[in-house]
A and B are shown apart, each in its own frame.
Chain A
Amino acid sequence: MTDDELQARMRASDPAASLPLAAPHEVARLLEDVMATELTTESRETGTRNRGPLTWLVAAAAVLVIAGVGIFGVRALTGDDDPAPTAGPVPSATHLEVSAPAGSAKCMVPNAEVLASADVAFDGTVTGIVGDEVTLEPTHWYAGDPTETVVVTAPSVQMQRVASGVSFETGGRYLVSATDGQVSLCGFSAPYDEGLAAIYAEAFPT
């Protein structure tokens, strides 16, 4: 047997031969989490300070692992940091929450059929972000009872990334839909674009 033959024989039983490629979005998340790790431990001021960087990394890895099957609450994960300031009685506000998608984390392409089942849908602009509360001023309601403002409770920026949530920025225009007070993720709620607006219009004919 030559060296080449030996190598060929070993390669024929390479245990990694059937390993599928990692999904690009998982790779991206993993890298983001790795790069976020150190900063998190240095700047965190709440009760999670004593967790080592590895805890966060393992948590992130765990998120990757369970993404295919898991049900996890981002609000539970973010837990004690940044407790939401108790919102005063704002007149006529709709309150929504962003949490991780329950069930399969695989995202379908946004479509009108699924969107039509949302009980709140609107086109609005972010007017302020305080703590983990994002306030939007709706300019058009596709579904739901119109209110002057909408307050979305969003998890911390880091967890948003992990949960592929929506990144709200002040002044940005967004299309947001929600079911049972939970903002629909996976592309159903996103910064305004005409393609998504067309889907919204189709889902909620006037």
Chain B
Amino acid sequence: MDESRRERFEAVAPELIEPLRRFLARRTDAATADDVLAETLLVCWRRVAELPEEPLPWAYGVARNCLRNAERSTRRQERVAARLAQQPADPSAPEDLALHEALARLRPDDAELLRLWAWERLTPAEIATVLDITANAASIRLHRAREKLKDMLRKTAGAAGHEGSREGRRP
């Protein structure tokens, strides 16, 4: 076995696991997250020589691709259906329905930019690595996506009564 490969992986991988678990928990159900985490780590292990100095954004990019592959399977569709039936996952934190609905109405790419920015706390340059676009493009698109989301939230806030009645109906 190539010991230097192993050393490099052992130095890097433990730091990747928590962020990757969180990345996946934000985007899929628990069972798929476990599968995709293992798959992502396997890719990192295979391609350990290609790991950049800052491996996390790169690893997010790998996880994103692995997740997309997993999402093609029908099993996952069933899991998502089960997951949606269970929401909210954390009863102590009331869901910001308006926010989730607004994110869902954005173009998927825009919503992903915003998630990477707010939840993974990435800089535009790091987002660019994840999405495989230029830093400049990431910066411009992030700015536009933020403005779109703010605009949507402003409009929803104007219709607060509507939101209240909807929340009341949730089981």
Contact = CB atoms under 8 A, between A and B. Distances in A.
Interface in A13-32: 13-19, 21-22, 27, 30-31
B92 interface: yes
Nearest to B45: A34
A11 B118 contact: yes
B38 A30 contact: yes
B114 interface: yes
A10 B95 CA distance: 11
A16 B96 contact: no
B100 A64 contact: no
B107 to A, nearest CB: 17
Interface of A: 1, 3, 6-7, 9-19, 21-22, 27, 30-31, 33-35, 37-39, 53-54, 57-58, 60-61, 64-65
Interface in B108-143: 114-115, 117-119
B56 interface: no
A70 to B, nearest CB: 14
A158 B14 CA distance: 20
A1 B150 contact: yes
B6 interface: yes
Given A57-B39, A58-B38, A64-B34, A13 B25 contact: no
A16 B26 contact: yes
A6 B146 contact: yes
Contacts of A6: 118, 146, 149-150, 153
Interface stretch (B15-23, B57-65, B71-79, B163-171): B15-23
5 contacts: A16-B25, A16-B26, A18-B93, A19-B25, A31-B17
Interface in B59-103: 89-90, 92-93, 95-96, 99-100
A7 B25 CA distance: 18
Shortest 9 CB-CB contacts between residues of A and residues of B: A10-B118, A16-B22, A18-B90, A13-B96, A16-B25, A61-B38, A34-B41, A7-B118, A15-B26
Interface in B8-35: 9-10, 13-14, 17-18, 21-23, 25-26, 31, 34-35
A10 B10 contact: no
A27 B13 CA distance: 10
Nearest to A31: B13
Contacts of B14: 27, 31
Contacts of A38: 45-46
A92 to B, nearest CB: 41
Contacts of A33: 38
Given A22-B18, A61-B35, 15 more contacts: A7-B118, A10-B99, A10-B115, A10-B119, A13-B99, A13-B100, A19-B21, A19-B22, A21-B18, A27-B17, A30-B37, A30-B38, A57-B42, A61-B37, A65-B34
Contacts of A16: 21-23, 25-26, 119
A35 B90 CA distance: 34
Contact of B9 (A13, A35, A58, A65): A35
A53 B154 CA distance: 50
B1 interface: yes
A30 B45 contact: no
Contact of A54 (B26, B39, B149, B154): B39
B106 to A, nearest CB: 12
